[in-house]
């Protein structure tokens, strides 16, 4: 049984990375958290914001003391005073804005999911390689300290032969039918918005699946409300993913090997801790705790520092979250969505009057709309 754990890779500033000038597209709450984290905990600087609404852009720029507010996405991505574009719009716009930024010679960091389809992700990858700029999905979990330790435990064989892994992510997100989470045209649904976190974790541990089987329910607007995905991986290893916008779940993860297993505390995709247990009953345990003081959204700064470092090395993709992995996750989510939507099992109706605020959002004004009725 392990008595010590691998050292964590921590993407702290000051390791020779360039200080890039950032522009952000989509002045919403997550963009605000990103800007605050970057300014407080990295050498990167956000200098401009772009939005289709000049008023929203100006308000965001004023709130975060940014130099420039652009009233269009085109003006932002072509701004000669920025080096990299962070995109946090509805999912359906990720590919088009990303391609425009690449064409303008900018590096790009795109909020998860990187696109709505695997084909769009492939197009972004090819464009980045052709232009010689880096494109990364803003999958902040891959850049957290605990993730590097977990990767090393698996790669070094410390857990033995890893035979299974599981992860879940569920939040109760009850919103009006025109909210982006319930709109098929905007890439709505649990799998793309929430399921991408467990999907990337499971593929990081076991690789891309060789087969998947998905079951779930569908909202009255035609998006997946929840889903369970059971996958087979190389060598017969299996994974289980659960995601939902109907109920909150523990958001934990496990990795089970023949020598030891790991329990990752929830939320597993945030800065967190985990425990390694020996395979035999009564085996001693080893607990890992994050040695840094960065908690919550402050840790968004890691991915920005990582992108700057990789761009300085002339890379077009992240070595800890490659384009191939990103595309494979999109293929998995796409296949799972097809299976869930094809079954057409209706999700239970939900009343907005009983809706808690979603993470980072305010309670909706409407109080009586039903968003989960059968189609």
User: For position 119, which CATH number holds?
Assistant: 3.40.50.720
- CB within 8 Å of 224: residues ≥ 6 apart: 189, 190, 191, 216, 217, 218, 336, 337, 340, 341
230-270 residue pLDDT tens: 999 999 999 999 999 999 999 999 999 999 999 999 999 99
Nearest to 228 by CA among 160, 167, 292: 167
3-state helix vs strand vs coil in the chain, percent to 5: 35, 20, 40
232 and 343 fall within a common domain:
yes
Kindly report the average pLDDT of the chain as a whole number. Answer: 93
* Domains identified in the chain, total number: 2
95 and 220 fall within a common domain:
no
For the chain, report the end-to-end CA distance as a whole number of angstroms.
53
Residue 6 pLDDT more than 60?
Answer: yes
Contact call for residues 344 and 12 (beta carbons, < 8 A): no
pLDDT band at 282 (very low <50, low <70, confident <90, very high): confident
Residue 1 pLDDT more than 70?
Answer: no
284 and 176 fall within a common domain:
yes
207 and 118 fall within a common domain:
no
Residue 314 resides in a domain: no
pLDDT band at 117 (very low <50, low <70, confident <90, very high): very high
pLDDT score at 293: 80
pLDDT score at 367: 30
Pairing of strands 162-170, 211-218: unpaired
Residue 8 resides in a domain: no
Number of helices (H) and strands (E) in the chain: give both, helices first.
Answer: 10, 14
3-class DSSP assignment, residue 274: strand
Of the residues 141, 162, 177, the one at which a domain ends: 141
105 and 251 fall within a common domain:
no
Query: Nearest 5°: phi and psi at 193?
Result: -80, -40
Other beta carbons less than 10 A from residue 142's beta carbon: 24
150 and 124 fall within a common domain:
no
Residue 236 resides in a domain: yes
Residue 62 resides in a domain: yes
96 and 154 fall within a common domain:
no
Is-above-0.85 flag for pTM?
Answer: yes
Of the residues 88, 111, 141, the one at which a domain ends: 141
- Structural domain containing residue 347: 146-293+320-354
Residue 366 resides in a domain: no
**More confident call, 184 vs 367:** 184
The owner of tokens 């435990």 is 153
The owner of tokens 């607990």 is 287
**Percentage of the chain modeled with pLDDT above 70:** 93
d(CA 46, CA 40): 11
100 and 150 fall within a common domain:
no
d(CA 121, CA 125): 6
Residue 6 resides in a domain: no
3-class DSSP assignment, residue 338: helix
225 and 190 fall within a common domain:
yes
Concatenated DSSP letters of 64-119:
HT-SEEESSHHHHHT-TT-SEEEE-S-GGGHHHHHHHHHHTT-EEEEESSS-SSHH
183 and 275 fall within a common domain:
yes
220 and 254 fall within a common domain:
yes
* Mean pLDDT computed over 186-215: 98
pLDDT score at 361: 52
pLDDT score at 199: 98
42-91 residue pLDDT tens: 999 999 999 999 999 999 999 999 999 999 999 999 999 999 999 999 99
d(CA 192, CA 68): 32
* Mean pLDDT computed over 164-169: 98
Residue 328 resides in a domain: yes
d(CA 76, CA 47): 11
Of the residues 141, 166, 197, the one at which a domain ends: 141
167-186 residue pLDDT tens: 999 999 988 888 999 999 99
CATH number of residue 239's parent domain: 3.30.360.10
Residue 334 resides in a domain: yes
d(CA 135, CA 109): 6
**Percentage of the chain modeled with pLDDT above 90:** 87
Nearest to 7 by CA among 146, 162, 211: 146
**Least confidently predicted of 266-275, 314-323, 335-344, 355-364:** 355-364
186 and 276 fall within a common domain:
yes
């Amino acid at each position: 049984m392990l008595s010590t754990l691998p050292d964590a890779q921590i993407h702290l500033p000051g390791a020779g990375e360039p200080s890039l000038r950032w522009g952000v597209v989509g002045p919403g709450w997550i963009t605000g958290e990103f800007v605050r984290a970057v300014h407080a905990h990295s050498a990167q600087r956000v200098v401009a914001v772009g939005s289709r609404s000049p008023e929203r852009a100006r308000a965001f720029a004023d709130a975060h003391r940014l130099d420039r507010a652009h009233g269009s996405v085109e003006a932002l991505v072509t701004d000669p005073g920025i080096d990299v574009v962070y995109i946090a719009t509805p999912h359906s716009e990720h590919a088009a804005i990303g391609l425009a930024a690449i064409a303008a010679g900018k590096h790009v960091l795109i909020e998860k999911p990187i696109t709505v389809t695997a084909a769009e992700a492939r197009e972004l990858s090819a464009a980045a390689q052709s232009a010689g700029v880096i494109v990364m999905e803003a999958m902040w979990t891959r850049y957290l300290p605990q993730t590097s330790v977990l990767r090393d435990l698996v790669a070094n064989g410390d857990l033995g032969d890893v035979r299974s892994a599981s992860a879940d992510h569920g939040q109760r997100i009850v919103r009006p039918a025109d909210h982006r989470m319930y709109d098929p045209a905007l890439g709505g649904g649990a799998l793309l918005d929430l399921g991408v976190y467990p999907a990337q974790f499971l593929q990081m541990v076991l690789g891309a699946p060789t087969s998947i089987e998905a079951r779930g329910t569908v909202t009255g607007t035609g998006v997946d409300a929840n889903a369970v995905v059971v996958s087979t991986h190389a060598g017969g290893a299996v994974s289980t993913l659960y995601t939902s916008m109907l109920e909150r779940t523990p958001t934990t993860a496990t990795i089970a090997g023949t020598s030891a297993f790991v329990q990752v505390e929830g939320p597993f995709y945030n800065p967190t801790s985990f425990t390694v247990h020996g395979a035999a009953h009564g085996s001693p345990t080893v607990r890992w705790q994050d040695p840094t003081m960065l908690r919550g959204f402050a840790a968004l700064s890691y991915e920005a520092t990582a992108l700057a470092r990789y761009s300085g090395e002339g890379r077009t993709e992240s070595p800890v979250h490659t384009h191939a992995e990103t595309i494979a996750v999109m293929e998995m989510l796409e296949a799972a969505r097809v299976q869930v939507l094809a079954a057409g099992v209706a999700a239970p109706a939900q009343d907005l009057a009983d809706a808690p605020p979603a993470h980072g959002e305010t309670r909706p004004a409407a109080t009586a709309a039903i968003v989960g009725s059968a189609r």
